[in-house]
Structure 1
Amino acid sequence: MSSTPTTPAALGLAPITPENVDAALALRVRPDQEALVAPVVRSLAEAYAYGDTAWPRLILDDGLPVGFVMAFFDIAFHPDRPGDRPRSGLWRLLIDAERQRGGYGRFAVEQVCAEIRRRGGSRVTVTYHPGPDGPAEFYARLGFRPTGELSGDQAVAELDLPPLD
């Protein structure tokens, strides 16, 4: 079932709380996408381990959970490389299998970009599995450009944010 968001006003992000954690954990991608994105339970464990540098959020449409997004802020991307600049960006994006292709991913990326801009950032980094089944085209449509770098087995892309008015 493909779904279209009702109105932009109906879309939002919410912190993960004791009241909504089960709904977050219930989100699942399609079986053919499972190798492309970690499950929410792993993301929440990483958010706990990384503390304030992680920003996990539930994606809501009119209060109903439709996906999960997690950003990271000011992390040395390659801590083993002296001089590597801290980066901020999109760590995880998961839209529930029943809700894909409804604009939720674009909304979540826009919200992460806005939060990075709010925190003083001017560039957003994302990593993803390269290949024909991966999300490279999705990120390219949003303006991300591949850097040619790899982070583990994932491609790295960046988006420069426009200056604040």
Structure 2
Amino acid sequence: MNSTSPRLEAVTPANVDAALALRVHPHQTENVAPVAHSLAEAYAHGETAWPRLVFDGEELVGFLMAFVDIQWNPAKDPADRRSGLWRLNIGAEHQGKGYGRFAVDAVREELARRGAREMYVSWEPGEHGPGDFYRRLGFEETGETSGGQTVGVLGIGPGGAQGA
């Protein structure tokens, strides 16, 4: 990371072009949708999507999108509402510098502020998938899948599985 602290910013007309230009490593493109796809989803799911850019100083280093209080599987359990990390893209040249951990922590803090007790994430399994990264951060596999992806959960607040 640079000498400044990373921070989150909303996507605005002033930074949207930089956001759209953000690219992950080529071998990761099968594991995460491009920012343009995520922003379209954020627009379509405006009530539940929370997209943010990760900056270090004036440099854009990543993109994240959280989901807030969605009905997970209404056919199975209509009361099962979840929040979590929907998308995480760290620019190829910025990976391995702590920005992914910062982004996950920022989402955890925002969800805890909103009263969530658990934070969910799903990931593509496989050699270049981010499963090891999420497990190192404390996510535990639930045994569920979502669209073929592995689902993990992390306790984040009072009453959460792993505390605050």
TM range (shorter): over 0.9
Instruction: Please report the RMSD computed on the Cα atoms of aligned residues, expressed in angstroms.
Output: 1.5
Do structure 1's residue 149 and structure 2's residue 144 form an aligned pair? yes
Match for residue 54 of structure 1? 49
Unpaired stretches in structure 2, ≥5 consecutive residues: none
Do structure 1's residue 138 and structure 2's residue 133 form an aligned pair? yes
- Normalised by the size of structure 2, how large is the TM-score? 0.93
Distance in 1, matches of 2:17 and 2:74, equals 33
Distance in 2, matches of 1:6 and 1:120, equals 32
Write out aligned runs for 1:42-121 (5 A): 42-83=37-78, 85-121=80-116
Q: Aligned pair in 2 of structure 1 residues 60, 134: CA closer, same or farther (>3 Å)?
A: same
Deviation digits for residues 38-94 of structure 1, max 9, x if unmatched?
000000000000012100000000121000000000001223433351000000000
- Secondary structure of the residue that 1:147 maps to in structure 2? strand
8 Å contact kept, 1:15–1:56: yes
Q: Which amino acid aligns with 2:73?
A: H
8 Å contact kept, 2:74–2:80: no
- Normalised by the size of structure 1, how large is the TM-score? 0.92
Between the aligned residues of both structures, percent identity stands at: 54
Residue correspondences, number: 160
Distance in 1, matches of 2:68 and 2:33, equals 19
